[in-house]
Amino acid sequence: MLRSCLALLLGCSLIVNPVVHAAASVAKSGGRLFQFKDWEVACDNVRRCQAAGYQQEGGMEGVVPEPVAVLLTREAGPGATIDIRFIVPDPDNRQPPRSGPWTVHMGETRLQGVVSEQALPAKSVQSLMVWLSKGDNIRVSRGQDVRHISLSGSHAALLKMDDVQGRVGTPGAFLRKGDKPESAALPPLPAPELRAKPLMAATRADTTLIKPILAAVKKRGCWDDVAKDADADPGIIRVSATEVMVTRLCWQAAYQSGRAAWLASSTAPHNPVPVVFPGVDGLDLESPSELNLNPDGTAFSAMKGRGIGDCWETHEWAWTGQYFELAKSQASGMCRQIPGGVSLRLWTTKKP
């Protein structure tokens, strides 16, 4: 699971310094990622849920199956419709890719003219949902190219979606329909409002602050992988007339690296405070992978699950003037050979 890759980067304490602003915000609850055999489910902070099903991991008799996925998305609230899309990567990522629609086989039922990553029409969605309740796999074909989506774990995934959205026992439930009114389904939660406060470009004089600020850092666990500041690509950005933010590489892996940040006074004593980047499900990141700070006040991080890039976890934050607040979070927890992964939303916000 991709989120386990972040275990070494996580901390949950709120850090406050009497001289400079608090550099950490409270971790966010609401975004969760669940896995059930060949399926996974993500429900975000507004109760929007998605389920993704893949080919069987490892295949049969040592044959590696071609990648394929089906993605179901449903907003919260009574009467919410179901968006279903098939994701069928081109074999070997040929350029230009092969074109043409696919045929989806569900027992004796066929859905023809299915285009990868395009939403199915309502009638096809209905047929697919019936098959998900009784079938054992879905076959996707185009000529000699045949792929299989496993339904192992699909029932648990769909029940999890219904449970989070309060649909169990209602007419709109995926599986366990009942006599409860459709109005019993939980309504969507409001997305938090968040606007980033722009950061300021560092001046030439600001760059002279990097060395003394890093020297004043007391807890140096970040120095383990990159011991010398000169090798750690240090940087600085001005936060206000009296504060700056200094960053340096903290860890390095085969295909990505992590960067930590400290908020400090621009005059001595600098009193640097570690910047904690809030995550979902009560987890914070202290040294996010491939961290980028932007002049518009946003920060972005991308954590690759493995080298071929078929699973990711990404975060975006907004600077409030005192700390970074989580703006967006997405994950593709299962590494199933889909280029770029199937991105599932864990956190969302809106601008006021």
Q: Are residues 168 and 312 in the same domain?
A: no
The label of the residue with tokens 């007339």 reads 241
Same domain assignment for residues 155 and 203: no
pLDDT at 39: 97
Distance (Å, whole) CA 75 – CA 59: 33
Within the chain, which residues score under 70 in pLDDT?
Answer: 1-29, 59-63, 92-98
Same domain (yes/no): 19, 110:
no
Instruction: Confirm whether 35 is domain-assigned.
Output: no
Alpha-carbon distances of 213 from 24, 267, 274, 306, 321, rounded to whole Å: 18, 10, 11, 34, 20
179 and 225 both lie in a single domain: no
- Collapsed DSSP state (helix, strand, coil) of residue 84: strand
* Residue partners of 221: CB distance under 8 A and separation at least 6: none
User: Closest Cα partner for 191 from 52, 332, 301, 345?
Assistant: 345
Q: Are residues 13 and 144 in the same domain?
A: no
Instruction: Residue 333: give the domain boundaries.
Output: 2-29+192-347
First-to-last C-alpha distance (Å) of the chain: 35
Q: What is the pLDDT of residues 94-146, one digit of tens each?
A: 555 567 899 999 999 999 999 999 999 999 999 999 999 888 889 999 999 99
- Model pTM score: 0.88
> Is residue 352 included in any domain, yes or no?
no
Number of domains in the chain: 2
If asked whether residues 119 and 160 sit together in one domain, one would say yes
pLDDT at 282: 76
Which single residue is written with the structure tokens 């340096």? 248
